[in-house]
Structure 1
Amino acid sequence: MTHAPGTPSWVDLGTSDLEAATTFYTELFGWTAHVSPEPEAQGYTIFNLDGTPAAGAGPLFSPDQPSAWSVYLATDDADETAERVVRAGGSIAMAPFDVMGFGRMAVFLDPSGGAFSVWQGGSMPGADVLGEPGSFGWTELNTRDLAGSKRFYGAVFGWTADDQQFGPRPYTTFRLDGTAVAGMMPLDADVPEQVPPHWMPYFVVEDCDDSAALAEKLGGTVKGKPAEIPTGRFAGILDPQGAAFIIITPQR
């Protein structure tokens, strides 16, 4: 699968307990785990769905780092993207570097502090399956700065903002050449200030209620009961190590 620059192309988990996380996600999504044999990969694991790469997981870089999912956006040139990030007011958290011939990546912060990564594919272009049950299907930025985020991501990736109103809350769909690629919504007012803006991954499931119940059985936490939204039925999940993600059964 090829990924156009500026579109989500990969998602991976940094976790405090890679073995336990592997057990949780393989049972929840039906993934198989393939551990990279290279010592420098530090156990980085590719999760396959029906034999094709769907997501990844690895250990945390430091013990004080929380377990969390990271969203990657495709780029043809990670170094040039880094220059655009800085020009647009963002910052570089991890400068572009090569990943053993698989590709080149970097980690950035948008002007409000939201972290995201980019992936310049080499032998590994990114996920080979998207939007199918058991795979990464959508991502949203939760932020306190809607206007600034529109300017930043528009400048860096060429996204345009399509604003809607979902009940009492505004919702923005980011589009690239007319195609929806990501979403954005405001952080709730009761979210503590120490919680930074963040990108949230959605994973597609066949039955949201069944998958939420399974996540709890496997030691995860369901944040609120499954509920209907205009695009389907969803639920927020914390895995046993505290990493947050959303599951969704799209409307058919």
Structure 2
Amino acid sequence: MTSIALGAPIWADSVTSDLRADTAFYEGLFGWASEDSGEEFGNYTTFGIPDGSPGAGRPVMGIMPCPPGMSPSKSWNLHFKVASCEAATDQAVRLGAVLEDGPGEVSGMLRYSMLTDPNGAPFGLVEALDPTTGFGAWGEPNTVSWAEYHYDGAPADAMRFYAALLGWNVTTPPWEDPSNPRPYAALSPDGGGEEFGGCHAAAGFEKDLPPQWSVMVAVDDAEAVCARAKEFGGSVAAEPMEVPGLLVAGVAAPSGTVVSIHSQRPWE
């Protein structure tokens, strides 16, 4: 189990138009095991790092088939941990968010709601009713390790909503250029928790995209994972690109849902 602080990411999932193909894709690409919850729970499927225990092992993310009238996810949905789903949802709406779904409950395990923030980016809120709810692994190879937001403006401006809602610390990292009018915003939960993500000023093709969260999976070799994505029926949505210390890329599952990956650059 991971220890998930209030305000930090607690889960990631997506809606798929092809559960069978996407399940095989993620299992092959990341070495995950899967567990289908059955028709009673909409065939929600949980992926995990195999650890010899029954089921999927240590949970890392989930997918579910598209309900009627819904389109598949363009990217993985990111959910944040709150003490009270109802209270946090009400506060989010007061701060300018739009409620899309919920609050609702899942089998005594959690309460959830889905919203879009004032900039139009989707996100979720989760109240864990069961202490095992959420990521069972974080920051390891083939697990979610980072959450990144892009915004065509000053990152700190976009993060004021989340700081007010979730109590985040939004700071400028020491490596940032002091003359940058739109400096990177590093994100961490209140109470001294570790950084879990950041927000950067949109650049290049991102300026043509709406603000959004990207869920990032750590891998040993981003270039090799991109090559394997094609072998397992997916595609490369964004070729590996260098950023300080990392190679980042995007791969798409057979349904078209995109997830970001990153690895250390091989020469470092």
Residue 102 of structure 1: aligned partner: 109
Establish whether residue 176 from structure 1 lines up as the match of residue 189 from structure 2. yes
Counterpart secondary structure, 2:107: coil
* Code of the aligned partner of 1:150: M
* Code of the aligned partner of 2:186: T
Residue 163 of structure 1: aligned partner: 172
Contact (CA 8 Å) 1:91, 1:111: kept in 2 or not? Answer: yes
TM-score by structure 1 length?
0.89
Residue 54 of structure 2: aligned partner: none
- Greater fraction strand: 1
Residue 72 of structure 2: aligned partner: 66
Counterpart secondary structure, 1:111: coil
Residue 8 of structure 1: aligned partner: 9
What per-residue deviation string (whole Å, max 9, x for no partner) do you get for residues 161-180 of structure 1?
223548x9842211223531
Structure 2 gap ranges (5+): 51-56
Counterpart secondary structure, 2:67: coil
Report the Cα distance in structure 1 between the residues aligned to 2:67 and 2:203, rounded to whole angstroms. Answer: 29
What per-residue deviation string (whole Å, max 9, x for no partner) do you get for residues 66-107 of structure 1?
323111111111111112212222121112110111211111
* Code of the aligned partner of 2:21: A
Establish whether residue 55 from structure 1 lines up as the match of residue 61 from structure 2. yes
Counterpart secondary structure, 2:142: coil
Residue 89 of structure 1: aligned partner: 96
Residue 84 of structure 2: aligned partner: 77
Could you tell which deviates more after superposition, 183-192 or 107-116? Answer: 183-192
Report the Cα distance in structure 1 between the residues aligned to 2:96 and 2:157, rounded to whole angstroms. Answer: 10
The structure-2 alpha-carbon separation of the partners of 1:188 and 1:230, relative to structure 1 and needing over 3 Å to count, comes to: closer
TM-score by structure 2 length?
0.84
The structure-2 alpha-carbon separation of the partners of 1:206 and 1:161, relative to structure 1 and needing over 3 Å to count, comes to: same
Q: How many residue pairs were aligned?
A: 249
What per-residue deviation string (whole Å, max 9, x for no partner) do you get for residues 152-205 of structure 1?
011001113223548x98422112235312211233454575x43221110111
The structure-2 alpha-carbon separation of the partners of 1:224 and 1:91, relative to structure 1 and needing over 3 Å to count, comes to: closer
Q: Percent identity?
A: 31
Establish whether residue 153 from structure 1 lines up as the match of residue 162 from structure 2. yes
Contact (CA 8 Å) 1:3, 1:125: kept in 2 or not? Answer: no
1:130 Cα deviation from its structure 2 partner: 0.6
Structure 1 gap ranges (5+): none
1:49 Cα deviation from its structure 2 partner: 0.6
Residue 185 of structure 1: aligned partner: 200
* Code of the aligned partner of 1:77: S
1:142 Cα deviation from its structure 2 partner: 2.2
Contact (CA 8 Å) 1:77, 1:120: kept in 2 or not? Answer: yes
User: In the TM superposition, what are the counterparts of 1:212-251 in structure 2 within 5 Å?
Assistant: 212-250=226-264
Counterpart secondary structure, 1:180: coil
